[in-house]
Amino acid sequence: MGARAALLAIGRLAACAPAPGGKMIKHKGWHSRGYLPHFDSPGIIQSITYRLWDALPADVVESLMADAETMDDAAKYARVEEYLNAGYGACYLRQPQIAEIIEGNWLHFDGKRYKLIAWVVMPNHVHVMIEIFMGHPLDRVIHSWKSYTATVANGLLKRKGKFWFADYYDRYIRDERHFANTVNYIHENPVKAGLVAKAEDWPYSSARLWNTGC
């Protein structure tokens, strides 16, 4: 059985998971929102990227939507990441207080809804790796992150309106090599974007914790 087939089987077996109080919360397995595919199943390690509302120029978004049927996921992601690292938009996450709110929100539910593995807060987007727990579907976890942090950040910025882009990118971790490469990618993102010389120098990242063994 291939990796994707195995994950689909897991998704079918764990499609409904009991939440506290006995209520069944459905994990969606493979599904799509707009032009991005998503995979949701408990026990799977996921690398997730989401961005600020204005982090991509409108013409880039339109082009990605138009090319959705002809581009594979890797090509879409590489193209989006290139623009994100260019620092387009207001880059509200560059502000220390807001970056700390994002980190604190992830850490708050660590060990309760998911296992938090690695993360980085970039000026206009974030990367985070988690292992989802039974009864906490991925889309609900991400919605709770976005809803809370958008409200708090908008209050600090004294603004109203959209803060996060509605969709997100997720990719399940296939094996140990993929895991190591993805953690390294997350931590090296500020270096790749020219923000720091060393990954551990970026203050809003788990790189410093990994490198010190904490």
Using CA atoms, how far apart are residues 159 and 181, in angstroms rounded to an integer? 38
SS3 annotation, 95-144: CHHHHHHHHHHHHHCECCCEEEEEEEECCCEEEEEEEECCCCCHHHHHHH
Residue 24 lies in a domain: no
Handedness of CA 172, 177, 180, 181 (dihedral sign): negative
Note whether 128 and 119 are within 8 A (CB): yes
Residue 203 lies in a domain: yes
Which residues is 50 bridged to in the sheet? 126
Indicate which CATH number applies to the domain containing 71.
3.30.70.1290
Residue 135 lies in a domain: yes
Note whether 65 and 35 are within 8 A (CB): yes
pLDDT digit string (tens) for the chain, length 214 residues: 343 333 333 333 333 344 444 454 565 453 445 544 445 556 789 999 999 999 988 877 777 666 666 767 677 767 778 888 888 999 999 999 999 999 999 999 999 999 999 999 999 999 999 998 988 899 899 999 999 999 999 999 999 999 999 888 888 888 899 999 999 999 999 999 999 999 999 999 999 998 765 5
Residue 158 lies in a domain: yes
For 166-185, give one letter per residue: b (16+ CB within 10 A) or e.
Answer: eebbbbbbeeeeebeebbeb
**Structure tokens of 63?**
């082009």
Residue 108 lies in a domain: yes
Residue 130 lies in a domain: yes
Give the domain range for residue 63: 34-212
Residue 13 lies in a domain: no
Residues 6+ apart with CB under 8 A from 14: 27, 41, 42, 43, 134
| Secondary structure (3-state) at 18 | strand
Q: How many domains does the chain fold into?
A: 1
